[in-house]
Every structure is written in C-alpha cells, then in structure tokens.
Chains A and B, each alone.
Chain A
C-alpha cells in the first residue's frame, strides 16, 4: 500500500487542473514531468548521521556526497546538527542578511552554502536534513511530505506544507528549504526548528538598513516557531531517529540501519591532480 500512497502523492504534486468527468472524480495531470517516483524503483535508501557539529565540515561533506556519490540506484538522507552558526545562500550578500556585529559578539560562525535560497540560523536545537537523489528522482515535495508524515505520525503535530514549500505549524514557519541540481545528482536540504534559541535567532538575522544596493538574492523573512513550543516531549535526537526510520520504512528493501559518519579527509578523500612521471 505504501507504493500506492507514494505514487498518489506524486500524482497530486503534478496535478494542475481538476476536471470532473460525469460521476467519476478523476485527477487530470495537465503537465506531466518525467520524474521517476522514488517508490517505483527498487533503490537502496541510506541514512547517514554526522558525528561532527562543525558547520564547515558538514557542508563540505554534503558537497562531497553531491560531487562523488553515485545516486543512480540509491538515495541518501544525511542528517546533521551544528553549533551556533548562520548560513547564507549561494548568491546572497552577508552584509544584507546577517547582523555581523552581533555575530562577532556572540562568536557565532558564518558560512555560505552551495545551494540557493535564504539565510538561516543553526544551533544545537536545529536539525538539518539533506535528501540526496539522482537528478531524475529529485522531488522536493516528497521529501517534505516524508518529514511531515513522520512527525505527524509520532507526535501528532499538524504540520502543513505551504505553496512556497516551507513546513508550517499553525501558520508559523518551522523549516526552510533549499536545493541544488546538477546534471547527475541533486540534493534538497532543509532545516527543522526543534528547540532553537529564538532571541539569538532574531539578533543574528536582524539587519538595519545599510543602504547597500546589490544583485544578490534577498531573503524573505517569516515568523518562526519551535516544534518544542507545541510539543514539549520532542527533541532533536528523537526526530533524527523517527525521521530515519520513516524514510527507510517507505523503501521496499529491508531496514538498512543508520550510519554515523565523521567528516574527515581520511574518510572522504578529496580529488587530487595526477602527476605522471
């Protein structure tokens, strides 16, 4: 039955126009984009959890997976948690997005990620999930539905997905999403505010008018809410566990198990130039 549910979700996602044919309700997808449903093929599903809390190491590992892994027959969910830091999007201007004075005062790190989108504040109460798939199987909505489904089923929180593909709880934003598509691989990553310090968040992202004109991508500000505010028993570790299980559950293959990875040069060696003598 999971297979039917996933392909139904895919159909709903592509549905643009609904027509009623007599007594039959039929959903008529007007634009059918040739993407393979994740549930259609027998692909391996991996779950990696990072042991590092360093934003730079985790972003580097994410980039390593994007450039070096082959996702033809497998998909990966990579979950990571960082020490307090601010991450700006690929084409953003930090002067316009981040309050750099507060940043240095609170010794919060600043980093730029490879995918587009807006600025986010991370700390130990924020979970980052990166969904890696091949280019053909890239499906943002499916990934967000996985997250919403897992949290809804376990903690009964009413999470919804907005048209801009943010996860909302009582019309407050609890997650921000961004993705990167290459010609072979693609990834979609999002944050999840479980128990983030709201005062620090506002301090970091509260920028006064500097009078800078820039072509960079502006961030769209939205009011945020922690999941813990609505459900006190929730914690980041539990969300990691539940989300991982839920992600693998929908795979036709048996439970693979979670892998804990340490981003380091030995485990994930970089490319080097071959010198031939």
Chain B
C-alpha cells in the first residue's frame, strides 16, 4: 500500500499524518470538489480522530503531493489551505471580546504584542495578545472559538479595561451547507458524527461524550435542552436518559396550565360551601358604631432605644431561672430598730432594705466569684471581675435605667445606702453620668417596690446573673415548732447565664444570700 502524506493545518501548528492510500482516495473524491467550503476530515485511524476531537479544531487536511491515477487531482498550493475555512457563510455574529478585569484596581493597560491578526482563526484559550500594566505582563486568552474580525488597538496603545479588545466572529448558529451526496454515501457513520460535532460548535460548547452525542443525534434531541449534572455542566448518559423519560412523560400527562385552574376551582367550591353554615348558626349581633382612636407612632429614642438595644443583646444569652422565698421577719425587725438608732438619724439616711440586699449579695459573691464574671461575645473567655459593682434597677420618668454602686466589697451597709441615695437623686433629675451607668458586674432589681412576687429578669450583657426581688408580703408560715406564725415573705427570682453558671452554683449562692438576710447577725461573721 503506498502511503501518502497529508499535511494537516491546525491553526498555527502543522502536524504530519499519514494515512492509507485507499482512504486517501475516498477523501479526495469527497473533498476536492468542496474545496472552498469548510473541510472537515474524518480519519479512519483512531489516534488521529482522537487528536482532532481533543483539540477541537476543524482540521483541514489536503494532500500536498499527489500523483496518482485519479486524473482529476490538482496540486493545491499549501498556503491556500489557510483560507479554506474562512468562508463567511459558516460563521455567525460578531461578538466584541472585552478586556476583562485584570485585578489590582487596574483600569488601563498598554497593548504590547499581538499574537493574532485580522482573519486569523482562534480557539478558546488561545493567546490573543500581551498587555502590560505597571510591572505585570498579562497574556489575554480568547474566550470564544471563532475568527478575528477586528483588532481595536494597535501595539503600544492604551486599552481601557471593559472596552472591546477584539471582535470575534463566533461560529454561533450554524448555517449548514447542503451536504454532498458523495459525502453521505462514502463516509456514512463518521460523517454523521461530524455533523453533530458541527452543530455543537458555537461559542459555549456543550460538554458530553461522543456516545451521548450520537444518542442525541439519533433521537434528534438538542443537547442544549438537556440539563447536565457532570463536572462543568457535562451531560452524562443518565442525564440524557432522564431527559428522554421526561419528554415521553410530559406528552402523556395533561397540560400543566389546566391543573392549577382545576385546583383553584376546587378551593373555591370548598370555601363557598363553608361560608353558609357558620352564618346560619350564630345570631345577628347589632353593634353600635364606636369611634375608633387614631394610631400614634413615634421613634424610639433615648433611654427606650438604649433599653431596646441592650435587650436585643441579652437575647443571645441562654437564661435559666431559679426562684426562692426569703423570710424577712428578722430583717424587718432589724430595719425597724435601726431606724430609731441615733447613728442612723445623725447621718440622715433613709435606710431601706436595698443596702442590705446589695451588701449581702456582695458578701455572697465572695464565695461564688463566677456570678460576678463577664463573658465575651463568642463565649470564649470568662473574666472574673475583682470589684463587685452591683447595679440596681431604677424606674425614672424617662424609663428604666440601671446605675451601679461601685466596689461594694469595700463599702459598709451605710456607705451603700449613702451611694444609693446619691444615685437616686441624680436619677430622678436625669443627670446620671456614664461612669455610674457602665461597669456593672451584677444586678439586683427591686420590682417588689412596685409590686409582684416572682419575675423572670433579663440578664444585662456582659453580666452573667441578675436577681429580681419581689414584694414583701405577710403570709402565714410554719415555724420550727410546727406552729403557724405570721412571717414577712419576700420572693426572689434569679436568672443566670447557663453557658457559664450551673444550677448548683446559683442555688448555693441564693441559699447563702438567703441565710444572710434571714439571720442578719451572720452578716457580722463575714464582715471584712
């Protein structure tokens, strides 16, 4: 078998292939007559075919040296082969290929080199030009397969990012040239595959395997309509089968436009059926027309806004509650006796229960420092605060504010009382300073002064615990002898951050605080 050489022009590269002679004969008969049209070659040898389809080029194969018994063979100038696939009937619209964003905030670049010229054929990812920006040299590669129709910039011109760099004639909708009779007869199985390849040659090539393509072409399915689930949107065989199923099933089921109408009608029927029954059962009630007030809206400002903000922050804390009852009989008696005491009278301070509560809380916090701690936002660090800055809730005309008494651990009950009085005065005037309002580590809310027994207080971020003290009520209780005695009972409700405090710690703290208040003389034991 005489072997002849074919020179295959693949873009700018020349590859040397050799094929058998009898095939060559076939090729000549098929393609010589259609030399002006785009020529697609089909190689019998598998290797060559694989090369061609991988490179996604249209290979133009022409015999360069044929001397044979075929008579009508002409010797074609090898340079002329370049232009065989430049026929305009084949390619589609001109797409301006814009200079994409290079990054680093660069808006202008200098075009330094062109790798293509007008009329050149390019494939996707072929380098088109080299641009330089500052010290970065960028190689711009083509996004489409097609033909370069216009270069917008010359070498050393400044190109703006986002403006068209080149115009590419993309092989979009393929106007298929009328297939030759010879072609069909001679290269039937391969020829069909070529056609299906051509059909999918536009700008964004659909990624599939050749077997799937054959299936699509056999069943006359457009691959663009099939949903691909493989990598990069590849259409797998399963996708094709699913598409086929859906096509066949959609024909059998009724039209989707009819179904919702039917459903709507059904719903209507149901509602109309329901309406008559209730109206018949209830009697007609005549209501006189009442003048309706007007809605009033105002922006949330000042203290209310601060409260809203802090409450939203507190919502993130997981609260747990612990409530208890305290027998305030002894404490009430103590306070009553101290009122008459000349020392208290001299200092002119009104002694309420609050200083005792605050001081007792501070003394109990010595034993349970975890309740006097602070947690950060992400709950990664816990800070055990050294000073007991115990806040107390104050209801003013402007709203709820929580000033705090600083360093209660080093203050006596009297000092606490004096400080409380000062803060209350300032609060009533509305002139509390930032230092008084910030830096609190623990809070006590005496809602009982207004009313209520048990409450569910909200922890003030970034603290971890809060207590709400209820009203002192006189209630019957059993004493140690089993007799019913009257006792001044006060409820306390604690809330703590369950991320850092467990129920046992809270309970023990509450018991200690309760012990101090039920037996005020025990406070003397822990005096510092």
Contact = CB atoms under 8 A, between A and B. Distances in A.
Interface of A: 16, 31, 33, 35, 89-91, 114-118, 138, 140, 164-165, 177-183, 188, 215, 217, 273-277
A200 B17 CA distance: 54
B136 A90 contact: no
A165 B125 CA distance: 30
A252 B113 CA distance: 40
Contacts of B113: 91
Interface string B358-388: 0000000000000000000000000000000
A164 B133 CA distance: 12
B156 A33 contact: no
Contacts of B110: 217
A138 B133 CA distance: 15
A276 B61 CA distance: 15
A116 B135 CA distance: 5
B139 A31 contact: no
A177 B135 contact: yes
Q: Looking at A115, A177, A183, which has the most chain B CB atoms within 10 Å of its CB? A: A183
B88 to A, nearest CB: 29
A91 B114 CA distance: 13
Give the size category of B's interface with A: 20 to 34
Given A273-B15, A277-B18, A33 B137 contact: no
A215 B155 contact: yes
B137 A178 contact: yes
B141 interface: yes
A181 B130 CA distance: 10
B103 interface: yes
B171 to A, nearest CB: 21
B103 A116 contact: no
Nearest to A185: B139
A91 B130 CA distance: 10
A89 B137 CA distance: 10
Contacts of B48: 276
Interface string B481-508: 0000000000000000000000000000
Q: Nearest 3 A-B pairs (CB), nearest first? A: A116-B137, A117-B135, A183-B141
Given A91-B112, A164-B134, 13 more contacts: A33-B101, A35-B103, A90-B130, A91-B113, A91-B137, A165-B135, A178-B136, A179-B135, A180-B136, A180-B137, A182-B138, A215-B156, A277-B18
Contacts of B137: 90-91, 114-117, 178-181
B331 interface: no
B348 interface: no
B293 interface: no
A179 B15 contact: no
Contacts of B51: 274, 276
B18 A90 contact: no
B362 to A, nearest CB: 32
B220 interface: no
B104 interface: yes
A215 B132 CA distance: 13
Query: What is the interface of chain A mostly: helix, strand, loop, or mixed?
Result: loop
Nearest to A177: B135
A35 B409 CA distance: 55
Contacts of A177: 135
Nearest to A215: B156
B528 interface: no
Interface string B102-142: 11110000101100000000000100001010111111110
Contacts of A90: 112, 130, 132, 137
B16 A275 contact: yes
B47 interface: yes
A115 B135 contact: yes
Nearest to A275: B16
Nearest to B16: A275
Given A114-B137, A276-B17, A181 B102 contact: yes
Contacts of A118: 135
A261 to B, nearest CB: 24
B141 to A, nearest CB: 4
Contacts of A140: 104, 136
A118 B136 CA distance: 11
B139 A182 contact: yes
A73 to B, nearest CB: 16
Contact of A138 (B103, B130, B135): B103
B15 A116 contact: no
Contacts of B104: 33, 140
A188 B136 CA distance: 8
A182 B141 contact: yes
Contacts of B47: 276
A91 B132 contact: yes
B155 A116 contact: no
A178 B139 contact: no
Contacts of B105: 16, 31, 33
Given A91-B112, A183-B141, A178 B103 contact: no
Interface in B127-185: 130, 132, 134-141, 155-156
A6 B132 CA distance: 28
8 contacts: A90-B112, A91-B132, A178-B136, A182-B141, A183-B139, A183-B140, A188-B136, A217-B110
Interface in B325-361: none
Contacts of B134: 116, 164-165
B185 to A, nearest CB: 28
Interface in B467-488: none
B155 A179 contact: no
B103 A33 contact: yes
Nearest to B130: A90
Contact of A181 (B13, B15, B138): B138
Contacts of B141: 182-183
A118 B135 CA distance: 8
A89 B135 CA distance: 9
Contacts of A183: 125, 139-141
Contacts of B130: 90
A113 to B, nearest CB: 9
Nearest to A166: B135
A248 B14 CA distance: 44
B99 to A, nearest CB: 13
